[in-house]
Amino acid sequence: MKTVKDRFLKYVSFDTQSQDGVEEVPSTAKQLELAKFLVEELKEFGLSEVELLDHGYVFATLPATTERDLPVLGFVAHMDTSDAISGANIKPREIENYDGKDIVLNEALNVVMKVSDFPVLPEFKGETLIVTDGTTLLGADDKAGIAEIMSMVAYFKEHSEIEHGKIRIGFTPDEEVGNGTKYFDVDKFGADYAYTVDGGRLGELEYENFNAAGGRVVINGVSIHPGSAKWKMKDAIRIAMEFQSMLPVYEDPYCTEGYEGFFISPR
């Protein structure tokens, strides 16, 4: 039987980066490759209502094993990965019995995960970690969630004596670019309660969600020879700086935490 690690390592072999600024969902066709793979895997499990829907959503049903009238539970994870750094040709590496110290991801490029930057690292001392070679992201966000859901399905299929109600499975595209739920058909999904498996620490349950809204600012400068530029040249970078300076100084990620809102200009 495949382990959750086996599944995870397989899923991260798919390059599923989404692309910001694209209205079409999914924003990249390569996300569909993982979607199709998951559909076949769900069918192999013997699940019902396995569908690859428009816009790349994957839905499936794990039928109830009891006649009791129980709520329908849903479990959701997203297939895409961030476009902040490459998601292609990922080279996972396992660190067994982690010593709780700095992790050298790539010695040649001097890429190091320092405890001073990530104070949470020592909490995983003695565990087995999976890391990259420092040139790509890993894709645990959220292929770890997909692996967990698929392993749950495999466990329930292997242990049919465990009573449970109907369970709905959903895998979504484009979460990283803010469009993960744009075409998510809530009625068709049909869950009474659903959980997004995209959290942090083991055992952590988040019952509130982060809300954000975005906008796109396009600044067009006016180029002219500097010798005759007075009152004519418009420097797009200078205008962008002026725009940034109008945002509240302390409502910035650097100065906020918890429920405090912030403005950010990522690009």
Distance CA 78, CA 141 (A): 8
- Can 175 be counted among the known catalytic residues? yes
Residue of higher predicted confidence among 207 and 124? 124
Q: What percent of the chain has pLDDT over 90?
A: 91
- Interhelix angle 4-11/140-158, nearest 10 degrees: 140
Q: What is the mean pLDDT of residues 116-127?
A: 96
Evaluate if residue 99 carries a pLDDT over 70: yes
Q: What is the pLDDT of residues 112-121, one digit of tens each?
A: 999 999 999 9
CB-count burial class (<10 Å; 0-12, 13-18, 19+) for 26: buried
For residues 223-250, give the mean pLDDT. Answer: 95
Residue with tokens 């690690």: 5
How wide is the angle at C-alpha 7 spanned by C-alphas 74 and 66, nearest 5°? 35
80 is an active site residue: yes
CA 175 to chain CA centroid, nearest Å: 6
Q: Pick the range with the lowest mean pLDDT from 39-53, 130-144, 205-219.
A: 205-219
Residue 142: is the preceding peptide bond cis (ω within 30°)? Answer: yes
Q: Catalytic: which of 174, 175, 176, 198?
A: 175
Task: Identify the structural domains of the chain with CATH numbers, from first to last.
Answer: 4-90+136-196 (3.40.630.10), 214-266 (3.30.70.360)
Nearest to 42 by CA among 52, 34, 33, 50: 50
For residues 265 and 142, what is the distance between their CA atoms, to the nearest angstrom?
24
Confidence of residue 267 (pLDDT cuts 50, 70, 90): low
Angle, alpha carbons 159-160-163 (nearest 5°): 110
For residue 212, the model assigns a pLDDT of 85
How much is the average pLDDT of 210-237? Answer: 93
Catalytic residue among 15, 41, 80, 142: 80
Indicate the pairing of strand 103-106 with strand 73-78: unpaired
pLDDT value, residue 166: 98
- Using alpha carbons, list the distances in angstroms from residue 137 to 37, 265, 266: 21, 22, 18
The mean per-residue pLDDT over the stretch 102-117 comes to 98
Could you tell me the pTM of the whole model? 0.90
Q: What is the mean pLDDT of the chain?
A: 96
> Which residues, in sequence order, are bridge partners of residue 62?
167
How far are the Cα atoms of 76, 78, 129, 219 from residue 198, in angstroms, in the given order?
8, 8, 18, 35
Q: What is the pLDDT of residues 9-62, one digit of tens each?
A: 999 999 999 999 899 999 999 999 999 999 999 999 999 999 999 999 999 999
